[in-house]
Amino acid sequence: MSHTGYRGKSLEFLKKNKIEVGNLVKIQADSTYSGILMPRYEYSDDDHIVLKLKNGYNIGLEIGKISHIETESRQSTKKETISHPQADPKLPKILLISTGGTIASRIDYRTGGVTPALTASELNASVPELSKIANIDTEVLFSEYSENLLPEHWIKIAERFESCARSEYKGIIVAHGTDTMQYTAAALSFSLSGFPKPVALVGSQRSSDRPSSDAALNLIAATKFLVKTDSNGIFVVMHNSTSDDEVACHWGTRVRKNHTSRRNAFQTIGGSPAFIVKNDSIEKNPLFNAPQNAFAPKINFNSKVMLMKYYPGLDPALIDNATNSGYKAVIFEGTGLGHVGKVMYEAISRAKRKGLFIGMTSQCIDGIVRMTVYDSGRDLLNLGVIPLGNMIPETALVKAMWALGNARDIDEMEKMMRENISLEISD
């Protein structure tokens, strides 16, 4: 019998009543509950069992308060039959690429784990509204939680997009995990600057089979946006509030995940989203204008870049260690207007003499680096530190990887870092 995660008193209780994980059970305690017995984490206490109710939520029940438990069903969960929508020749074509993440995940009721299990075609078929907006071709590029994605994955995504640049697709959706979505959005924004189609990176804060999931609405809004927009570029399309009334389309180099779990976790830094999707309308931010760059893909990254957050007590030897480890660039998250303590100056000077690029962003959420205001900022400028305006630190990191991977030397890299390529530096 399967009793994953249960031990001690709770394990004895389940064995005594011949209940195992995955069984549909009815429990009498302070009220009557019906649901599927879920596994527990390895280090959970032994006083409770976990039940998934029919509404999709989990509850914990203290075994000492259970007066009766019985098995309603021992049948295993059957695999759903996927019904694929019929193509409508009158509708535009969209490519949906899946890379994994919560949006492409569902709960395995036998194990309780959330796993990247849905394919791109299953995502498409599970949201029937999509077939009324566009004909969607689907493809699984890889199936990974986004914390596992590396610059090598960015290259694969960008190369796949490059092959679609002159295709019949109106736009491209990327189903992506939210944890590193802003990094991928920035990577595509630089490597595919001027891409002639709109791209929507879409995620979900809650898996597709939860009643509070934001997956379907985000996908529907992204599809509507791609079909109706006249703006090309890379966007992150996610809830704009905790309710279901608006979905925001954030520009790919100006977006950041600012909450661990809320459905509107993503925000445009330094302004408002480029577009808002409300039902069937697309509202454009009047201050947003996408750059009109010629499409000249540069799909290469060098990950020998360190993002270093300054704090009181930061050991300057870390810069020497980075240099000795083969790093070619350091992006500082400085304090305020772009400062680090004078204890770092000698190490910065040594790094510059060895040819490292050192850029300065601010650890403040909003605002512009201005290193001419105080003596400490001017000292850093004299050491060769490059101010990066109001570039988001994570965006600056990705841009430095991209510039390092495509520049012939450090001087060309510096020129690329100063150039405003994809609105990474905004007014």
Please tell me which residue in 99, 102, 253, 395 is annotated as part of the active site.
102
Pairing state between β 281-284 and 275-278: antiparallel
Count CB neighbours of 350 within 10 A: 14
The yes-or-no answer on residue 78 being catalytic is no
Q: Coil, helix or strand for 130? A: helix
Residues in the chain: 427
Alpha helices in 86-142 (DSSP H): 120-126
Phi, psi of 57 (to 5 degrees): -95, 150
Count CB neighbours of 78 within 10 A: 6
Phi, psi of 299 (to 5 degrees): -105, 80
Computed over its alpha carbons, how large is the radius of gyration of the chain? 25
Please tell me which residue in 46, 47, 108, 179 is annotated as part of the active site.
179
Please tell me which residue in 99, 138, 178, 323 is annotated as part of the active site.
178
Phi, psi of 158 (to 5 degrees): -65, -40
Q: Say if CB 207 and CB 396 are below 8 A apart.
A: no
- Tokens found for residue 209: 């089979």
The yes-or-no answer on residue 102 being catalytic is yes
Report how far residue 285's alpha carbon sits from residue 337's, in angstroms, rounded to the nearest whole number.
28
What residues does 172 pair with on adjacent strands? 95, 199
Q: Coil, helix or strand for 123? A: helix
Q: Coil, helix or strand for 257? A: strand
Q: Say if CB 164 and CB 138 are below 8 A apart.
A: no
Q: Say if CB 282 and CB 225 are below 8 A apart.
A: yes
315: Cβ contacts below 8 Å, ≥ 6 apart: none
Please tell me which residue in 257, 268, 328, 361 is annotated as part of the active site.
257
- Cα-based distances in Å from 14 to 11, 23, 46, 60: 5, 11, 11, 14
* Chain-centre distance for alpha carbon 410: 30
Q: Coil, helix or strand for 138? A: strand
- Tokens found for residue 405: 């991977």
The yes-or-no answer on residue 179 being catalytic is yes
The yes-or-no answer on residue 257 being catalytic is yes
Q: Say if CB 72 and CB 34 are below 8 A apart.
A: yes
User: Catalytic residue positions?
Assistant: 102, 178-179, 257
